[in-house]
Structure 1
Amino acid sequence: MEVAKRLQGVGEYYFSQKLREIDELNKQGKNIVNLGIGSPDLPPHPDVVKVLFGEAQKPNVHGYQNYKGSPVLRKAFADWYQHWYGVALNADTEVLPLIGSKEGIMHICMTYLNEGDAVLVPNPGYPTYRSNVTIAGGVCIDYDLKEENNYQPDFEAIEAADLSKVKLFFVNYPQMPTGQQPDKQVFEKLIAFARKHSILIVHDNPYSFILNEEPTSLLSIEGAKDVVIELNSLSKSHNMAGWRVGVLCGAAERINEVLRFKSNMDSGMFLPLQLAAAKALTLGKDWHDEVNAIYRERREKVFQLLDLLGAVYSKNQVGMFVWAKIPAGYKDGYAIADDVLYKANVFITPGGIFGSAGDEYIRISLCGSVERFDEAIKRIKAGL
């Protein structure tokens, strides 16, 4: 049986493939310390779990749900956006809960892209942008994010390309994998660029609360709703990655367009999950401060580890990863990642999986205990 043409050029996700190799190494007794994947290891707030438990015991919550999500969750997202981002959203028309924001990327691509339509994707950037565009029949046009430009789009270089077929422009701040913080001037340039070229900007915003004192939404910029839709998620900010709760925010027209596709793909989230998520969205600064204190301590350990490797990095990064340039003597990030894996039994992520502009970089996740990082440091000292 031949697979569909839409899967040509779309390989297995790097982490899916690498984790199988790590499983084999573990079977050999290697006990690999995995510092690669950004899956939060901390639990949600106890009150969130309590709501899920209590609501799930009710007999009338187990049926199909509203395709647009529970009104309770939509209002909670709208209130959250107003409180933290200063963005006013109509809970009935401008908020669409998602089964994780990753599915929203696919929904957007399938909603707007015809065969041959072009999409601007960041290099380096989240690999799912590229794969979803390809599956939807679109064509990716890379725009490079360079360290010397603070990993911000080079608008002159982008405009030098043929933009006649570009429909979407993926952006992501705080940026993954580089940890670059958002900049209001860049946001304003993005809005102006989108207006000039009639392009829809898709802002992926899951990291705005991690080690970042000023959570920011692209929708906070004047006129943004005319040209921007924004994805957000509780996976990182509220330690709920496995719960699969995300949201799409934007103008009512955009929400309705995406809903036309989404409503043919699923039948809504389990209601107790939605009500627990609504509870999570009411958590205040104390919650985020507590989580960030843990990540801050872990980040110091990562800095120590990178110093051992001779990597170069900025301490001004935010988000749950640290991005670093590889030391001299290594061909690329894959080479040093394999060296660390096979000699020290520690897995770190090569930057090249995020695009060619990441070839000379590595990324380390903050999702692990201090003891785990201490063990990794000990192994690297002994093995390299």
Structure 2
Amino acid sequence: MIQPANRTQSIQEYYFSVKLKEIAQMNMGEVKVLNLGIGDPDMSPSEETWNSLREACFHPKSHGYQSYQGIPALREGFSKWYKTYFNVDLNPANEILPLMGSKEGIMITSLAYLNEGDEVLIPDPSYPTYKSVTNLLGGKIVSYPLSESKNWQPDFVSLEKRDLSKVKIMWINYPHMPTGARATKELLENIVAFGKKHKILIVNDNPYSFILNNEPLSILSIDGAKDCCLELNSLSKSHNMPGWRVGMIGGNPKMLEPILKVKTNMDSGMFYPVQQAAIKALSQDQTWYDSINKVYQKRRELVFQLLDLIKCKPSADQSGMFVWASIPDKYEDCYKLSDEILQKTKVFITPGGIFGDQGKKYIRISLCSSESVFKEAIERIKRN
């Protein structure tokens, strides 16, 4: 048997991939599992976005190869979006690189900057892909713990005591996933200063700014940020377009050059109608975000009711499309609670430990289900 590359031994199958197989087996029974785990927006993109996609399908060159940098109008759309909502000026000619989702950006940014043995600062808890990509590329993970007592922000006093000489990249993402903690301008200023001082590339993964959050912030709005920072963004969450695979990375043109070099060797451009639809999505005004958040707000209120039933306490003042909550002391860890609820009620809740050791005493519930699903979950838990 032909042996796979050694790098595949450094990662495991994604937790949700494994869990969905278990849920599929359970769904062969009469009562189906209510999956409250994955952040897959169930609401639709705007009608204008769909119409733009349909119209663009009949463009005579829609089927052909596209530019690696996206069509100029898409970069202009991202530029206007950043100016309108983040008050950030990004030159559409060379400071914006459209991506097939921000997950692609995590990989190609790492490919562009990491050498084997380079160290990467990764928050704990955080999106698991930061770790898996670092492992795949032979980088060394250096976790920095976040805690609820510090509002899930980095402890710079502790970080400054470390040997940072081999650190190449620091991943951050605010509003934070999975905890929903918001950034402040002061926090972003401290992160920029830290990156400049230690010559570390700071990458802010920023897809949740518009979900239950009235003050979107970009790290690129901070003075001097373009000297050491890049920012990923995506239409997956903000515009209900996860399967469309549209994102971007913005920042200093010189810092984007190696990323573009990698990208040109990995794909052949984004489908033209999707680009046109993304332009229309980006042009939505504040009423679009307000309408989406009105739905999420009602769902979050139901989630709070559910959490109260299982004696879990949500963190204060969180944003994004998840609710993060601490578990009762009687449970050894989050996996025990998650599995108990799944087996007794056929309701799946994500254990916070999949996001890092700091999440082992927490659970996370996605807001990407209808009110009727949450009401049914509440009733199932009440009966058990």
Fold shared per TM-score above 0.5: yes
Farther off after superposition, 306-315 or 94-103: 306-315
**Counterpart in the other structure of 2:104:** 103
Task: List aligned pairs for 1:101-180, cutoff 5 A.
Answer: 101-180=102-181
Amino acid at match of 1:235: S
Post-superposition offset of 1:9? 2.2
Amino acid at match of 2:85: W
Separation of aligned partners in 2, 1:165 and 1:3: 29
Structure 1's unaligned 5+ residue stretches are none
**Partner deviation per Cα, 1:200-259 (whole Å, 9 max, x = no partner):** 000000000000001110000001000100000000000001100000001001111101
Separation of aligned partners in 2, 1:3 and 1:139: 21
Structure 2's unaligned 5+ residue stretches are none
Separation of aligned partners in 2, 1:40 and 1:370: 14
Post-superposition offset of 1:30? 3.1
**Counterpart in the other structure of 1:372:** 373
Q: What SS does the corresponding residue of 1:8 show, helix, strand or coil?
A: helix
Post-superposition offset of 1:265? 0.3
Separation of aligned partners in 1, 2:263 and 2:138: 18
Post-superposition offset of 1:314? 2.7
Kindly indicate whether residue 341 of structure 2 is the aligned counterpart of residue 340 of structure 1. yes
Separation of aligned partners in 2, 1:361 and 1:71: 44
Contact 2:35 2:349 in 1 (8 A): yes
Percentage of matched positions with identical amino acids: 54
Normalised by the length of structure 2, the TM-score is 0.99
Amino acid at match of 2:129: T
**Counterpart in the other structure of 2:318:** 317
Amino acid at match of 2:221: S
**Partner deviation per Cα, 1:145-169 (whole Å, 9 max, x = no partner):** 1000110000111122221110000
Amino acid at match of 1:154: D
Amino acid at match of 1:14: Y
Post-superposition offset of 1:312? 1.1
**Counterpart in the other structure of 2:293:** 292
Q: What SS does the corresponding residue of 2:324 show, helix, strand or coil?
A: strand
Task: List aligned pairs for 1:34-73, cutoff 5 A.
Answer: 34-73=35-74
Separation of aligned partners in 1, 2:121 and 2:342: 34
Amino acid at match of 1:106: M
Separation of aligned partners in 1, 2:199 and 2:190: 14
Separation of aligned partners in 2, 1:171 and 1:314: 19
Task: List aligned pairs for 1:1-12, cutoff 5 A.
Answer: 1-12=2-13
Separation of aligned partners in 2, 1:327 and 1:366: 22
**Counterpart in the other structure of 1:75:** 76
Q: What SS does the corresponding residue of 1:102 show, helix, strand or coil?
A: helix
Amino acid at match of 1:61: S
Amino acid at match of 1:40: P
Q: What SS does the corresponding residue of 1:88 show, helix, strand or coil?
A: coil
Separation of aligned partners in 2, 1:316 and 1:196: 31
Contact 2:77 2:279 in 1 (8 A): yes
**Counterpart in the other structure of 1:17:** 18
Q: What SS does the corresponding residue of 1:170 show, helix, strand or coil?
A: strand
RMSD: 0.7
Q: What SS does the corresponding residue of 2:27 show, helix, strand or coil?
A: helix
**Partner deviation per Cα, 1:248-290 (whole Å, 9 max, x = no partner):** 0010011111011011000010011001100100000000000
Q: What SS does the corresponding residue of 1:181 show, helix, strand or coil?
A: coil
Amino acid at match of 1:377: I
Amino acid at match of 1:265: M
Separation of aligned partners in 2, 1:15 and 1:160: 36
**Partner deviation per Cα, 1:76-124 (whole Å, 9 max, x = no partner):** 0001001110000110100000000001000011111111000000100
Normalised by the length of structure 1, the TM-score is 0.99
Post-superposition offset of 1:28? 2.3
Amino acid at match of 1:213: N
Amino acid at match of 1:272: P
Separation of aligned partners in 2, 1:30 and 1:144: 39
Amino acid at match of 2:247: G
**Counterpart in the other structure of 1:204:** 205
Post-superposition offset of 1:315? 4.1
